[in-house]
Amino acid sequence: MPFSPYKIMFSLTLFSGTLLTISSSSWFSAWIGLELNLMSFIPLISSKTNQFSSEASLKYFLIQALGSAIIILTSSLTLIYPNFVPMVISLALLLKLGATPFHFWFPQVMEGLNWTQVIILMTIQKLGPMFLISYLSMTFFTNTFILISAVSSAIVGALGGINQTSLRKILSYSSINHMSWMLIAMLINETSWMIYFLMYALISSSIALYFMSLQSFYFPHLIHSNYSPLSKITSALSLYSLGGMPPFSGFIPKWIIIQEMILSSFLFTLLILLISSLVTLYFYIRLTLSFISISTAQSKWNMVLKTPKSFYPALWASLNLFGLLIPSSLLVI
C-alpha cells in the first residue's frame, strides 16, 4: 500500500525530526531531532520481502547511531574543551552526511533503496546535519577538516562514478560530489549553500522521479529499451543539468558558488572542484551518448515506443532544461 497509515505517520515524524533539528537551540534537542528522524526513516526503508532494503536499513542505522552517539557524548564536554568539541562534532556530522572520508556507506545504502527512498536520503536526510554544521563555531581546526573533506569529496565523487552501471550509485557519487560544493559554500556564505541545496534537491528529485517513471535502475535498462527518443533525450539532458553543464538549471548554483569562491580567494580549491565537475560530466556524457545512439532491434510491426507512465515526472525533468532563461526573463520583465 503506497499510502498506508504507518507510512504517513513515519513520514510526518521524519519531517518533524528534521524541523526540530534545524530549529533547536541546544545540542540535546538537536540530538533528539536526529534520533526522531532516524527512527522514522528506518521503518520506511526496511522490508521483510526485500533482502537488499533490510541490509541497507541495518547499515544506515549503525552509521547514524554511531554519529549520534559521538554528538551527544562530545557535546557534554563543551565547557571543558571548547576548542576540541566543534571539531569532533563536525566529524560526526560529516559521517552522518556521507561526506569523504566517511562516504563508504552511502553508495551501498543507496543501492538497496527504491527511487522514493533515494529521494528522501539525498534531500531530506541531509538537511539536519548540514544545518548543524553551519551552526558550529568555526575554529581553525573545524574549518580545516571541513575544507579537507570538501576537496576529497569532490575527488571521490568524480572518480567513484566513472565505472558504475547502477543509476542509484551514479546518483550517490554525484551527491558526494555536490556535497563538496555545499561544504565550501558553508565556509564562505550561509545563504549560498541553501540556494545550492535547494537547486540540487529539485534537480536530483526530478531525475529520480523520471527514472522511477521509466522503471530504470541500471544502465542497460536505458540502452535495451524501446522508450521514445524524447524520453531518452530528456533523461540525458537532466543528467547534464545535474552535472552543472550550462545552460541548464544545475549550472546556476555552481555559478553562484564560483563567484563567491573567487571573491574569497579559494582559487586552488575552485580549480579542484571544477576539474571534478568536468569528470562527472565526462561519465554522464559517456552514458547518455550510448543510450541515445543505441537502440534494440525490433520488428517494425511490433514496435511500440514507450513513454513515461506519468506526465508529472517528465514535467519535473523538463524544468532542468531552462535554467539560464530565468535571469533573462527577469531582465525582460
Residue 38: inside a domain, yes or no? Answer: no
Q: Which domain holds residue 144?
A: 46-127+134-332
Quote the pLDDT of residue 225. 57
Residue 9: inside a domain, yes or no? Answer: no
What's the number of domains the chain is made of?
Answer: 1
The answer to whether 274 and 255 have CB atoms below 8 angstroms apart is no
Among all chains, which residue has been given the C-alpha cell 514507450?
Answer: 306
The answer to whether 228 and 236 have CB atoms below 8 angstroms apart is no
Q: Which residue has the higher pLDDT, 162 or 310?
A: 162
The pTM for the full model equals 0.87
- Give the mean pLDDT of 2-20: 84
Residue 8: inside a domain, yes or no? Answer: no
Residue 12: inside a domain, yes or no? Answer: no
Residue 32: inside a domain, yes or no? Answer: no
Quote the pLDDT of residue 236. 78
Q: In this predicted model, what pLDDT tens digit does every residue of 268-288 receive, in sequence order? A: 999 999 999 999 888 888 877
Residue 14: inside a domain, yes or no? Answer: no
Residue 275: inside a domain, yes or no? Answer: yes
Residue 167: inside a domain, yes or no? Answer: yes
